[in-house]
Chains A and B, each alone.
Chain A
Amino acid sequence: MTVLDDPSFASAGTDEGGQELRSRSELTAKELLREAGAVLRMSESEAAALADVQQDIGEDQSMIINMGPQHPSTHGVLRLMLELQGETVLRCKPIIGYLHTGMEKTAEQLTFMQGGTNVTRMDYLSPLNNELVFSLAVEKLLGIDGDIPERAVWMRMLLSELNRMSSHILFLATNGMDIGAISMMLYGWREREEVLRFFQKVTGLRMNHNFIRPGGLAADLPPGWRDDVLDILEILPARLDEYDTLMTGQPIWRERLQGVGVITAREAVALGATGPILRSTGVPWDLRRDIPYLRYDELEFDVVVGSYGDAYDRYAIRLNEVRESMRIVYQILDKMPKGDYRIQDKKVTPPPRARIDESMEALIHHFKIFTEGFKVPEGEVYVAIESPRGEIGCYIASDGSSKPYRMHMRAPSFVNIQSMPHMMRGSLVADAVAVISSVDPVLGEVDR
């Protein structure tokens, strides 16, 4: 019998049962108000006083429609259930899990050495940041977090910043496409490709690199890397100015984004939203500056903040963060030290390739490290860094074996997606697209 013959499979269909948005008639007024009021940290009576919380709409005046999971503007398989009154969104509920592949369970089956291949596939637009946070957590558990060679640290920063640029440029592309500036999509993909070409040269792959590993990196930078980075830095400013001409100052673009999807600082903090969403509300919170990791405290850069908390601010923040990242990369180029690209700790570092041909011990060591992996002492640790989407955190509990007992990723998109219903409440359906786009979720990371 195949899966398809199973009667329960056919009946399941796409019905997600209790996970779906319930209609107004099934809810009490109290539940409706709790949904709206909790985020604002209001009592129910205060929430009721808000004009946009209408509770006296009859069932016949509103309707529930599905947007996604295959809608092109949902950036993957995000399904939104919208309760509409005419063109106005009354309530919204994101339904996720369509891309869930149990990556946290998978992580428990992989050694710490192999773990990078798994985490890199979560936020597939900033894979190097995923690998980085995982590696930092493992290194902290191993107690070698202070011994990573300087060059490895600076290389990690270089890759992390370039990845932030490529991710934000892709955001600009998809944001443009969602709003209707189709040409922006082509420009964005084109510029991102410049960065990805560099990644391919360094890591061998455009995405899912598994390049940053516990103990350092997989390889040193290739010859000529400095010129390649300088090429990117030379191309980009003119292109970013082009985006400014195409979008930033353009009246249609402004009309479409300004005042759309507004969120306040208080709401963002209550919802745990981080990254550009939090910064768009005027909160200058960036882990690179506020709780520095690697050597970010030795660099000069500004934290870009907005003032209205709308979709336009989030767009402008990401655009300008590309410029800040370029500033950082210039400084990294100046300061890049010489030295080793990984720690010379026999416990976690495989022997150099050349040694394997001449030394039996090196061969055995190499074999052991790639089959059994290395043992990590018991303990639990949470490490967080600033990914393009916000705080990405890695919680690892180790039982002393060579595989994580439990690995949890605090995915910024998973948390940020909760702010959508609050941004959309009372707005138009057409603006829902702008809101989804401005949150910039990566569904691989949401569902893990």
Chain B
Amino acid sequence: MSESVAQGHETAETLHGFPVVNSLGQKVLLVDRASYVQVLKKLADDSFDMCVDLTAVDYLLMPNRTVAAGITPERYELVVNLLSMTRRERLRVRVQVPESDATMPSLFDLHPGTEAMEREVFDMFGITFEGHPDMTRILMPEDWDGHPLRKDYEVGRIPVQFKGAPA
């Protein structure tokens, strides 16, 4: 796990004051948490008005990765895929989310379609979204312990039960 998770070459390009990196030919905007909603609002006005996907990655096992110059990598990364139908372009927004304070502001009021996606990220990674109307688990049962897609969550196996087998 060496350095260049930076994913591609860095360019001097910026968008709304944040660096844009090229990840295998795809545009990625690296935003900080404080300006996240504000930048997404600006992007929505700038025709990136469809939030196609919102997910997260737990980089627990890749502590030494580099994201881009001037950005401290954190354990979690939120990945938001935006689409501009007028420009026929995609833009990916990535936000570093620290382990000590795994919360993000919700995008619900800007993109209501993120409702289920944010719940899924909460369910799978334990990142909470402030201002989300219904911050509950979505795929796992309500009383489940832990967040399955975290890297420190064991794959685990349920012992196979055979009817009438000697214990």
Q: Decide if B1 touches A17 in the complex (CB within 8 Å).
A: no
Q: Please judge, given known A-B contacts A382-B53, A382-B90, A395-B55, whether A415 and B116 are in contact too, CB under 8 Å.
A: yes
Can you give 27 contacting A-B residue pairs, CB < 8 Å?
Answer: A2-B161, A17-B142, A18-B137, A19-B137, A38-B109, A96-B139, A100-B139, A104-B149, A140-B24, A269-B50, A272-B53, A274-B52, A378-B1, A379-B7, A380-B7, A380-B57, A380-B79, A381-B26, A382-B53, A384-B90, A393-B52, A397-B57, A406-B57, A408-B53, A410-B55, A415-B52, A418-B116
Contacts of B116 in A (CB 8 A): 414-415, 417-418
Contacts of B90 in A (CB 8 A): 291, 382, 384
Interface centre among A17, A270, A272, A447 (most CB of B within 10 A): A272
What CA separation (Å) do A408 and B26 show in the bound complex? 17
Q: Decide if B81 touches A395 in the complex (CB within 8 Å).
A: yes
**Nearest neighbor of B49 in chain A, beta-carbon distance:** A269
Interface check A204, CB cutoff 8 A: no
Q: Interface readout for B91-125 with A: 1 if CB under 8 Å, 0 if not?
A: 01000000000000000110111111100100010
Interface check A285, CB cutoff 8 A: yes
Q: Decide if B79 touches A395 in the complex (CB within 8 Å).
A: yes
What CA separation (Å) do A280 and B138 show in the bound complex? 28
Interface check B58, CB cutoff 8 A: yes
What CA separation (Å) do A271 and B49 show in the bound complex? 11
Q: Which of A31, A379, A400 contacts B1 (CB 8 A)?
A: A400
Chain A 432-448 residues near chain B, CB threshold 8 A: 447-448
Q: Decide if A378 touches B139 in the complex (CB within 8 Å).
A: no
**Which size class do B's interface residues fall under?**
35 or more
Give the secondary structure class of A's interface. Answer: mixed
Of A8-16, A45-53, A64-72, A298-306, the one with at least 4 CB within 8 A of chain B: A8-16
Q: Decide if B50 touches A382 in the complex (CB within 8 Å).
A: no
Interface check A222, CB cutoff 8 A: no
Interface check A59, CB cutoff 8 A: no
Contacts of A81 in B (CB 8 A): none
Q: Which of A140, A283, A380, A410 contacts B53 (CB 8 A)?
A: A410
**Nearest neighbor of B81 in chain A, beta-carbon distance:** A382
Interface check A220, CB cutoff 8 A: no
Q: Please judge, given known A-B contacts A8-B143, A34-B133, A269-B50, whether A102 and B114 are in contact too, CB under 8 Å.
A: no
Q: Which of B53, B88, B92, B113 contacts A418 (CB 8 A)?
A: B113
Chain A residues at the B interface, C-beta cutoff of 8 Å: 2-3, 8, 12, 15-19, 31, 34-35, 38-39, 96-97, 100, 102, 104-105, 109, 140-141, 143, 269-274, 283, 285, 290-291, 378-382, 384, 391, 393, 395, 397, 399-400, 405-406, 408, 410, 414-415, 417-418, 447-448
Q: Which of B52, B57, B120, B138 contacts A384 (CB 8 A)?
A: B52
Known pairs A271-B113, A379-B8, A414-B117. 10 more at Cβ < 8 A?
A: A17-B143, A19-B136, A271-B112, A380-B7, A391-B52, A393-B52, A393-B81, A395-B53, A399-B61, A418-B112
Interface check B38, CB cutoff 8 A: no
Chain B 1-36 residues near chain A, CB threshold 8 A: 1-2, 4-5, 7-8, 23-26
Cβ of A64 to closest chain B Cβ, rounded Å: 15
Q: Decide if A105 touches B149 in the complex (CB within 8 Å).
A: yes
Interface check B158, CB cutoff 8 A: yes
Contacts of B133 in A (CB 8 A): 31, 34-35, 38
Q: Decide if B51 touches A399 in the complex (CB within 8 Å).
A: no
Q: Please judge, given known A-B contacts A38-B112, A405-B57, whether A272 and B142 are in contact too, CB under 8 Å.
A: no
Interface check B140, CB cutoff 8 A: yes
Q: Decide if B112 touches A97 in the complex (CB within 8 Å).
A: no
What CA separation (Å) do A38 and B51 show in the bound complex? 14
What CA separation (Å) do A144 and B114 show in the bound complex? 33
**Nearest neighbor of A41 in chain B, beta-carbon distance:** B112
What CA separation (Å) do A287 and B97 show in the bound complex? 31
Q: Which of B24, B142, B155 contacts A16 (CB 8 A)?
A: B142
Q: Decide if B24 touches A381 in the complex (CB within 8 Å).
A: yes
Q: Decide if A415 touches B140 in the complex (CB within 8 Å).
A: no
Interface check B85, CB cutoff 8 A: yes
What CA separation (Å) do A269 and B85 show in the bound complex? 10
Contacts of B24 in A (CB 8 A): 140-141, 143, 379, 381
Contacts of A17 in B (CB 8 A): 136, 142-143
Interface check B141, CB cutoff 8 A: yes
What CA separation (Å) do A18 and B5 show in the bound complex? 38
What CA separation (Å) do A96 and B140 show in the bound complex? 9
Cβ of A66 to closest chain B Cβ, rounded Å: 16
What CA separation (Å) do A35 and B133 show in the bound complex? 8
